[in-house]
Amino acid sequence: MQFVPPIDLTDLPNYEKTELRPRRPVFVGRVSTKDNQNPATSLPRQVSTAAARLEPGEDFAAYFWDVESGMLPPELRSLAPQEMYDTLAVPLRRDGGLQDLVDRAEPLGVTHVLAERSDRLARAMLTSLTVEHELGKFGVEVVYANEPVGGTESGRLRVRRYSQVDAEIYRTAMMEMSMGGQIQHAVGGWNHGHPPYPYISVVDETAPEPARGRFGVARPKRKLVPHPDSRRFDAVRELCRLRREEGLKSADIIAVLAADPDRYPIDNRWTHNRIEGLAANPKLTGHQVFNRRATRTGRAGTSRWNPVEDWAWSPGIVHEPVITLQEWKQAQQVTAALRGRGQQGDPLARIRVAASRRGFTVAALSSSDTHTVYLIGERKMVLPTQIPDILAQQVIADLELAG
């Protein structure tokens, strides 16, 4: 030790730093997916690596780990049921996930959080910095096993921040490559997601074989073909005609289609969301279209419409069209005009428009003579059957804050 005192001062009461609370280290880890990685081997390996930074004779007081994408913020972690974690057969106790660690660090008396490296917290630098900041409020030190021991604090911090930058750059590069692949998937004519009402999806036997050694699960490419019940094409053609040529609202279109179930069949019943979703779906034109919605909005179970200029279209028609592209465009113009009039008039229509802008749906769950229970996004709301303008404005203002 350098710069020691010139005489022996070890007998003074405050010669050595005294810990006011005992060390209580915990482990934090993460595996991206249960399919492309093996949590039963990865997590114990992470524990073994992180344990090298324990003091002699110490052990972890708790284990916090997730099987989640490192791109998710803490509040969207650990939403899977406990049954899912049980089936993974990870030979490691689980006391919660990352958000549980942040919430329980102070009451548990945690002093140190040990991880293999920073991207085990998150690949987004802001998230890992936020977690470190929140834990730091309680005097909790975050330790990454891949960081050097000793040296200066500035040197340690430089290594940590470089590592976090690398993790975020990796995350961004993966997102760019994933988005590029998804766009090429659509441009090639292959379908994303659930097929629209007048179609079914089938495996494209002519699609190129996946590259050997490809990372991840190789899913067969699927294309849209007409539903075996040809009446579905007729139903959607009529739906779009009623919107395009007669300017009918969804309630009126529902009345027309529901009045002739043999001609316009539907599972369960026609709904506002189904009518509006079909009227707005560009896949009815025979083109494949990707990136219409942004699913990563920071709110579980919600999505928002992306601007049309951000959509990725197949250059040509790749499956049998229900309507022409020009007819689809005209329907969108009529829909926009109806929403504009609704925003100026009916309070419920204005609420629907405000909710739609944020990717929320408005569904009536139950009603009485005086009130109706609505589900707006994930929130239940009881409103009078005749909604006053001032109350509609308050609901719209709440939606603005929620967005």
Write down the architecture of domain 25-174 according to CATH: 3-Layer(aba) Sandwich (3.40)
Could you tell me the two tokens for 343? Answer: 């925003």
* Residues 98 and 77 sit within 8 Å (Cβ to Cβ): yes
The pLDDT tens digits along the chain (403 residues) read 567 788 888 888 777 766 667 899 999 999 887 656 788 889 999 999 999 999 999 999 999 999 887 777 777 777 778 888 888 889 999 999 898 999 999 999 999 999 998 888 888 888 888 889 999 999 999 999 988 887 787 887 888 888 888 888 887 787 788 788 888 888 888 998 899 999 999 998 887 776 555 445 567 899 999 999 999 999 999 999 999 998 899 999 999 999 999 999 999 899 999 999 999 999 999 999 999 887 654 454 556 788 888 899 999 999 999 999 999 999 999 998 887 765 555 788 778 878 877 778 888 888 787 888 888 888 888 888 888 878 888 888 888 776 5
- Alpha helices (runs of H) in 220-370, residue ranges in sequence order: 231-246, 250-258, 272-280, 325-344, 347-357
Could you tell me the two tokens for 61? Answer: 């007081």
Instruction: Give CA separation, 239 vs 87, 236, 252, 274, 327, in Å.
Output: 46, 5, 10, 11, 12
Domain boundaries, the chain: 25-174, 345-403
* Residues 213 and 195 sit within 8 Å (Cβ to Cβ): no
